[in-house]
Each structure stands twice: as structure tokens, then as C-alpha cells.
């Protein structure tokens, strides 16, 4: 599960030095359910994060370090309903899980409460999923609907059993990745993971695996059913490596492989990404977007497909070892 941050609704105290009357800015509290979930038919287990907005007179950063401020107690019944062509086919409870620990940050990282699908329940393509959250204390129900996305059909590169991909990425090379979009997806993303090993000089058996992600950006689905092609400019990769991998004369490095990661996202997920991009220019306010009924957040779908085993050709390996951007990184 990709990691994602939670934006909670926090209201802090405010004082008016010129006002003679006391003003209580804390309005009557109404609990708001915050939901973040992305179903992915390629994953064996799905996770949904459910928190609550919090309000109080204490400093917001102090309150964020108390898990009870934003975690619900064990008072929620969380269910998935699977629908096909408007007919409900299945319904099951999600399990409350606190085994995953977040990295330390503004919010307390333990316990980290998530809700996960049972091991026997996979997300099926060509199905719609309704998320229902019932609060047994307040009687409130929060819900949302998401359509599972289908597999991504990649035509270049294609790896057959026992074969590898040879990718030319030197300066004058021309290599295009090609895939067929699905009608259900609104946006695609391609990330190429550059995998390598690093080891101390003279001790190649004491290596560690490392990687650099080359993100080719978001691609709106506007092809009207035709193939989408993405050209890979080799110099961009080598510039990225030169700026991302630190210089260290005490180690050597060796290229390992390329991993192609294709991602597709549903329309409401793409809208959520666009709305929550950092503001630019004079307008600094961020508009609010949610597809959660009686709550806030996003419940949507994506599909992630990985193609392993990409190799660089001879000229690309030479550029990695001797090129102007990476010649000091000690690739051998």
C-alpha cells in the first residue's frame, strides 16, 4: 500500500488584542468522518484509513500527538458491498488492524488504525464497491462508491517467460513505451525504477540494494481508445541519477535492472489529485473536494502493473559509467 498522509480539520486558538469582549471561536463540535481508501484489483489486501476531525482548546500540534484525538475507538462497522450491473453480489466486514506503524511526524504514529479486507476477499474487475461506515455510538453512516479498474494492457515493453528487455537510453536513442488505455481510467502514470547495488571498494559481496524512481508524470486518458506512447529521453534519466545519488569515493556501484510501474486512476481520484496540488500564483487557497457522503476524503480506485527485468543496452551502460552526468558515481 502506497503511504499517504492524512489532512485533518484542525482549528487553533485566535486572540483579538483590540476587542473588549471575550470571544469563543470554538463552535459546537460535530464529529466529521475522514476517509482515505484506494482499491486496487492487483493487490491481495485492501486498506481504508478512517479518522475523525478533532477540535479543542489545546495546541493542535500537541493534540495531534494523542491518538485518541483522531482515531475512533472500536465503534465502527466497516463493510464493502460488491455490485455488478446494479445488482449487489456480496457484502462483508473489514477487519480493524493496528499492525502497521507510520513514520514519526505531526500525528502520533502508533496505534495506526486501518481497516482491511479479509484475506479471502479479492477485488474483482468489472465490479463496483460501496464502502459503508456505521458508527454504533452515534448511529451515523458514512459511505462512498468506487468502480474497480481493469488491468493495463502494455504492448511495449513485453517480457516473455525466460526473456529480458533491453532498453536503449543513451543520448540519441529512441525508445517508446506503449500501452492501451482502459475506458474506466481517467489518468495514467509511468514510473521507471532504476535498481542498482552499492558496495564498499574491494568488497563486492557486501552489497546493498538501492533504487531511484524516474517519474514520467501523469498522462490524462484522452486517446479515445488508441495506444498511448511515452518517449523515454535517456539524458533525463542520467541527469536524475546524477542529482539523486550522492558522490562517495568509498563505494562502487553496479546497475541491476529497470522496473516499469504503470498506474491508472479513476476520474474522481484524478480530480482529487488536481484539486489538492500545491497552489501557485496569487491565489493560495485550496478548494475542497470529497466524494464521501456524510464525511470528507476520497474513496476511489487505481490499478498498478509492474514489469520487471529491464536491462540497459551496451551504449547506455557506457553512458552510465562515463557520461557527463554520472561518470563520478563510480558505476562499474
Residue ranges making up the domain that contains 135? 33-148
Do 96 and 165 belong to one domain?
no
pTM, to two decimals? 0.80
Instruction: Let me know if 320 is exposed, middle or buried by CB neighbors in 10 A (0-12, 13-18, 19+).
Output: buried
Give the residue, 200 or 280, on which the prediction is more confident.
Answer: 200
Query: Coil, strand, or helix at residue 198?
Result: strand
Do 134 and 80 belong to one domain?
yes
Determine contact, residues 324/243, Cβ cutoff 8 Å.
Answer: no
Give the residue, 57 or 175, on which the prediction is more confident.
Answer: 175
Do 179 and 312 belong to one domain?
yes
Do 251 and 120 belong to one domain?
no
Write out pLDDT tens, residues 241-283: 999 999 999 999 999 999 999 999 999 999 998 888 766 555 4
Do 98 and 119 belong to one domain?
yes
Judge whether 284 lies within some domain: no
Write out pLDDT tens, residues 133-173: 999 999 999 999 999 999 999 999 987 776 778 999 987 77
Do 201 and 315 belong to one domain?
yes
Q: Which of 148, 180, 203 is the last residue of a domain?
A: 148
Do 66 and 99 belong to one domain?
yes
Write out pLDDT tens, residues 87-127: 999 999 999 998 877 676 656 666 889 999 999 999 999 99
Q: For residues 73-83, give the mean pLDDT.
A: 97
Instruction: Let me know if 291 is exposed, middle or buried by CB neighbors in 10 A (0-12, 13-18, 19+).
Output: buried
**pLDDT category of residue 320 using cuts at 50, 70 and 90:** very high
Judge whether 142 lies within some domain: yes
Give the residue, 20 or 179, on which the prediction is more confident.
Answer: 179
Do 97 and 236 belong to one domain?
no
CA distance 255 to 299: 38
Give residue 194's pLDDT: 98
Closest CA to 185 of 305, 85, 70: 305
The structural domain count of the chain equals 2
Judge whether 13 lies within some domain: no
Judge whether 208 lies within some domain: yes
Amino acid at each position: 500500500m502506497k503511504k499517504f498522509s492524512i489532512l485533518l480539520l484542525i482549528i487553533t486558538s485566535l486572540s483579538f488584542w483590540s476587542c473588549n469582549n471575550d470571544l469563543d471561536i470554538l463552535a459546537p463540535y460535530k464529529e466529521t468522518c475522514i476517509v482515505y481508501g484506494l482499491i486496487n484489483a492487483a493487490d491481495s489486501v485492501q486498506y481504508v484509513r478512517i479518522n475523525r476531525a478533532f477540535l479543542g482548546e489545546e495546541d493542535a500540534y500537541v493534540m495531534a500527538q494523542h491518538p485518541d484525538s483522531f482515531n475512533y475507538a472500536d465503534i465502527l462497522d466497516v463493510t464493502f458491498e460488491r455490485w455488478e450491473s446494479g445488482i449487489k453480489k456480496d457484502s462483508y466486514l473489514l477487519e480493524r488492524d493496528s499492525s502497521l506503524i507510520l513514520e514519526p511526524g505531526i500525528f502520533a504514529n502508533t496505534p495506526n488504525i486501518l481497516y482491511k479486507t479479509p484475506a479471502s476477499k479479492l477485488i474483482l474487475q468489472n465490479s463496483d464497491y460501496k464502502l459503508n461506515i456505521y458508527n454504533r455510538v452515534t448511529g451515523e453512516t458514512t459511505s462512498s462508491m468506487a468502480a474497480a479498474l481493469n488491468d493495463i494492457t502494455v504492448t511495449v515493453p513485453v517480457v516473455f517467460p525466460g526473456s529480458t528487455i533491453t532498453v536503449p537510453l543513451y543520448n540519441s536513442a529512441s525508445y517508446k513505451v506503449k500501452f492501451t488505455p482502459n475506458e474506466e481510467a481517467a489518468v495514467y502514470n509511468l514510473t521507471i525504477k532504476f535498481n542498482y547495488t552499492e558496495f564498499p571498494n574491494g568488497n563486492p559481496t557486501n552489497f546493498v540494494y538501492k533504487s531511484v524512481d524516474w517519474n514520467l508524470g501523469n498522462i490524462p486518458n484522452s486517446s479515445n481508445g488508441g495506444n498511448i506512447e511515452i518517449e523515454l529521453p535517456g539524458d533525463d534519466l542520467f541527469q536524475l541519477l546524477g542529482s539523486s545519488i550522492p558522490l562517495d569515493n568509498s563505494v562502487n556501484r553496479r546497475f541491476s535492472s529497470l522496473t516499469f510501474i504503470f498506474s491508472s486512476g479513476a476520474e474522481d481520484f484524478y480530480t482529487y489529485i488536481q484539486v489538492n496540488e500545491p497552489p501557485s500564483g496569487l491565489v493560495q487557497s485550496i478548494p475542497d473536494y470529497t466524494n464521501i457522503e456524510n464525511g470528507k476524503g476520497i474513496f476511489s480506485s487505481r490499478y498498478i502493473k509492474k514489469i520487471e527485468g529491464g536491462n540497459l543496452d551496451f551504449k547506455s551502460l557506457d553512458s552510465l559509467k562515463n557520461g557527463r552526468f554520472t561518470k563520478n558515481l563510480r558505476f562499474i
